Amino acid sequence: MNTRDWPIRAKLTALVIGPVTALLALWVFATTLTFGPALDLLAARTLLYDLGRPGEAVVAELQRERRLSVVQLADDTTLPALAEQRLRTDRAVAELRRRVAGDDLRDAADDHLDTRLDQLVAALDALPAGRGFIDARQVDRAGAVGLYSGMISSAFQAFSAMATLPDAELNRQALALTALGRSRELLNQTDALLAGALAAGRFAAGEHDQLVRAIDNQRFLAETAVADLPAAERTAYRRLTEGEPFVRLSALQDALIGADGLPPQLDVRTWESSQAAVQQGLREFELSGADKLAERSVPMAVGILVRLAAAGVLGLLAIVVCVLVALRVGRSLAGRLTGVRTAALEMAEHRLPDVVARLRRGEEVDVAREAPELDHGGDEIGQVGHAFNEVRRTAVQAAVDEVTLRRGLNEVFLNIARRSQGLVHRQLALLDRLERRTEDPDELAGLFQVDHLATRLRRHAEDLVILAGAAPGRGWRNPVAAVDVIRGAISEVESYDRVDVGVVQPAGVLGRAVGDVIHLLAELIENATVFSPPGTRVDVSGQAVPNGYAVEITDRGLGMSPRVLEDANRKLARSPEFDPAGSARLGHFVVGRLAARHGVRVQLRPAVPGGTTAVVLIPADLVTDEPAVGPTGPGDGATRGDDLRMAKVTRLNALPRPRATRPGRERPESATPVLPFAAGRGSSVEAAEDGDGLPRRVRRRGPVARPRPAVTDTPAHRPPEEVRRKMSALQAGTARGRRDGARAIANPTAPTADAAPDRAAESAPPAPAPEPLTATERDA
């Protein structure tokens, strides 16, 4: 048996449990040997008053009912006295059943007596059926005598089972009284047989022989039982049998034995009076003997209990002393060891994690206060406690150092990220100026590719900010259309040309969450493009749901195993702490942080027939109605920065804003991805109108290549009035095109008012480009 992993209390208990158990076993054995007989003696009174008295009453009533039943069977008349006797018998049987079903009698009875009681109850259950046979005269007189005699015999068997007293003398007297009761039962059987013969005028076949056997057995049982009675009881019984009723009854019995049938000189009145007197005398003698037997058992039981107390108290004191000593010593050792263990568990499970959490929140921690000195004594246990104090102090100090180091690394990440963000913003501003001054389509396409790379660099710089636990900083003042948010996310993905925008139901996203939602969607879309074959497409769609707005991103890759999918969903469901060991899933960490910041729910699920679908649920408190397309009045000037910024981030998307009524997915006609612009200039592109009225630039070349203009650092001087006029014209035209597109969707059959001017614009010379946006206007 390996006891190495036992608790200290179990080990200390095992040291003393052997001697204490042995002593306790000896005490229990001695107590049981003495206490058991005492309980049996005390139970004798319970058996007498709960079984003996009610059982004897049932026997007496059954004997009377038996005699009347035999007399009725001997004649053709019905005896009214039999019905009255049956009522008295039923009352006696009901009382006996109540006592037998009680807990007192069952607790005092042993297994053998329980069996006899069940047999007695089963025999009494046959009484109603037997009465039916008697009333229908389907049984003769001998059968009736046998029916009742069987029930009475079951009662005497139960009385015999009561005679299991521990004292041999008392047990012998109890059996003698039971035998006297049986002899009285045989005497009553003789009376029933004779009464039936007198009513019929003769004995039936075999009845005389049965009567003779009953008289002989009665005399034998009485003689044998009296021999086991004490001297005083024997003398009392002898005086009873020498009385006149016994003498007359004995003479009449001899006359019945000697006659061949009914003796003609038999005096019936003398028989009945003598029989009743003898029955009453014998019954009183038996009840008196039973009472004396119960009274003698109580002093005997008290004497046994006194001896038990004298022997048991000493043994119990010895056991108590041993247990107290063991408890005192064991409790002292176990308490001290438990104190050391509790201190260790508290430090490992509560105090140390609390210290780390407080340090991460930026609170100051006192090492001496968080790891106080604990005194556990000067013995071996105290030395272990002292060593643990040192370990605990070192652990707290190490936690402080570790959190301080992590905080420093976060500051380094944040510093590098902020510097990178500043450089990327300056780079984007420079690229914007170069794009607006470049007219060559090839160079312009290259600049837009560099612009796209810079946009992705900005997102990766924001990843570092998120890793450091800070906010990226981009934001919008006003709501932005959901389709523009999706386009902005696609524009930050490397393989944007593989992304198809499906049906996007109209909705708006509050400006405070636009930047983070774009970043979140961009991370998921990039994962979809990276972990799917290059020739497959990635589908993005959006729809309004009862509790917000759902964006679905579906790839056609190999998918994820159920275990990996479950682990990824668990990380996305909460804002995890950054773990450098999980850098392979850095995008999931960023998505989880961004989702937790705004209450966005992200879940990955298998796609059909293959791949993975990412469902992004934007909560309802971040969703609003889709903002109006373009300015609607003079008060909209405050939104110009946001509109221009969204135009900038969505220009890499080759698809216009889809509407719910558009069937299916639209793709560009050319195989090469088209780089649309929201605003720009140059003669190398022409304007084409989409279904929703938004302009889209398409590359074209003239028949003769024009010489490339020289790029100078000094921009051409333009009067402010000219710049203001051209910008107002561009803004008004864009707003008119969006309004016409919205009306065309609402009423597809209606002609567009500005269709002819837009088509004429294709051959008109390009308008000058607006002034480049500043870094503040481009990104928040």
Question: What is the model's pLDDT at position 671?
Answer: 33
Cα distance between residue 579 and residue 574, in whole Å: 14
Cα distance between residue 657 and residue 695, in whole Å: 11
Q: 3-state DSSP call for residue 684?
A: coil
Q: Which stretch of 270-274, 359-363, 708-712 has the lowest confidence by average pLDDT? A: 708-712
User: If we measure between CA atoms, which residue out of 366, 476, 464 comes closest to residue 421?
Assistant: 464
The residues near 600 (Cβ < 8 Å, ≥ 6 apart) are 517, 520, 594, 616, 617, 618, 619, 622
Question: What is the model's pLDDT at position 648?
Answer: 46
User: Would you state the structure tokens that stand for residue 735, as one six-digit string?
Assistant: 């707003």
Q: Which helix (H) or strand (E) holds 4?
A: none
Strand order, beta sheet including 538-545: 499-504, 538-545, 548-554, 612-619, 601-606
The pLDDT tens digits for 610-623 are 889 999 999 999 99
Task: Spell out the SS3 assignment of 488-540.
Answer: HHHCCCCCHHHEEEEEECCCEECHHHHHHHHHHHHHHHHHHHHCCCCCCCEEE
How far is residue 439 CA from its own chain's centroid? 71
Q: Contact at 8 Å (CB) between 594 and 519?
A: yes
The residues near 230 (Cβ < 8 Å, ≥ 6 apart) are 173
Strand order, beta sheet including 480-481: 480-481, 508-509, 623-624
Cα distance between residue 458 and residue 593, in whole Å: 18
pLDDT level of residue 691 (50, 70, 90 thresholds): very low
Cα distance between residue 385 and residue 399, in whole Å: 21
* Mean pLDDT within 251-268: 82
What's the angle, vertex CA 527, arms to CA 419 and CA 602, rounded to 5? 95
Percent of the chain with pLDDT over 90: 10
- Helix %, strand %, coil % for the chain, to 5? 65, 5, 25
Cα distance between residue 395 and residue 401, in whole Å: 10
45 vs 618: which has the higher pLDDT? 618
What's the angle, vertex CA 171, arms to CA 170 and CA 172, rounded to 5? 90
Question: What is the model's pLDDT at position 692?
Answer: 42
Q: Helical H runs in 531-620?
A: 562-572, 586-598
Q: Is 418 exposed, middle or buried (0-12, 13-18, 19+ CB in 10 A)?
A: middle
Cα distance between residue 456 and residue 461, in whole Å: 9
Question: What is the model's pLDDT at position 555?
Answer: 92
User: Would you state the structure tokens that stand for residue 519, as one six-digit string?
Assistant: 């970043």
The pLDDT tens digits for 311-357 are 777 777 877 887 788 778 777 877 777 877 787 787 778 877 887 77
User: Would you state the structure tokens that stand for residue 204, as one six-digit string?
Assistant: 């039936």
The pLDDT tens digits for 630-677 are 544 444 444 444 444 444 444 444 333 443 333 333 333 333 333 333
Q: 150-177 burial, b for 16+ CB within 10 Å, e for fewer?
A: ebbebbbbbbbbbbbbbbeebeebbbbb
The pLDDT tens digits for 761-775 are 333 333 333 333 333
Question: What is the model's pLDDT at position 640?
Answer: 46
pLDDT level of residue 535 (50, 70, 90 thresholds): confident
Residue with tokens 């059909």: 608
pLDDT at 689 over 60: no
Q: Contact at 8 Å (CB) between 549 and 543?
A: yes
* Mean pLDDT within 21-38: 72
Q: Is 200 exposed, middle or buried (0-12, 13-18, 19+ CB in 10 A)?
A: middle
The pLDDT tens digits for 156-166 are 888 888 777 66
Q: 3-state DSSP call for residue 653?
A: coil
- Residue 622 has what DSSP assignment? G
Q: What average pLDDT does the chain have?
A: 75
Cα distance between residue 738 and residue 302, in whole Å: 112
Residues paired with residue 696 on neighbouring β-strands, in sequence order: 688
* Mean pLDDT within 91-104: 88
Cα distance between residue 215 and residue 208, in whole Å: 11
pLDDT at 577 over 90: no
Q: 262-280 burial, b for 16+ CB within 10 Å, e for fewer?
A: beeeeeeeebeebbebbbe
The residues near 540 (Cβ < 8 Å, ≥ 6 apart) are 486, 490, 499, 500, 501, 502, 504, 521, 525, 551, 552, 553, 554
Query: Torsions phi, psi of 355, nearest 5?
Result: -60, -45
The pLDDT tens digits for 172-224 are 888 888 888 888 888 888 888 888 888 888 888 888 888 888 888 988 988 88
Percent of the chain with pLDDT over 70: 73
Residues paired with residue 603 on neighbouring β-strands, in sequence order: 615
Q: Helical H runs in 581-704?
A: 586-598, 640-649
User: If we measure between CA atoms, which residue out of 152, 224, 237 comes closest to residue 186?
Assistant: 152
Q: DSSP labels for 110-167? A: -HHHHHHHHHHHHHHHTHHHHHHHHHTT-S-HHHHHHHHHHHHHHHHHHHHHT---SS
Residues paired with residue 538 on neighbouring β-strands, in sequence order: 499
pLDDT at 744 over 70: no
Q: 442-476 burial, b for 16+ CB within 10 Å, e for fewer?
A: eebeebbeebbebbbbbbebbbbbbbbebebebbb
User: Would you state the structure tokens that stand for residue 509, as one six-digit string?
Assistant: 């996203």
- Residue 234 has what DSSP assignment? H
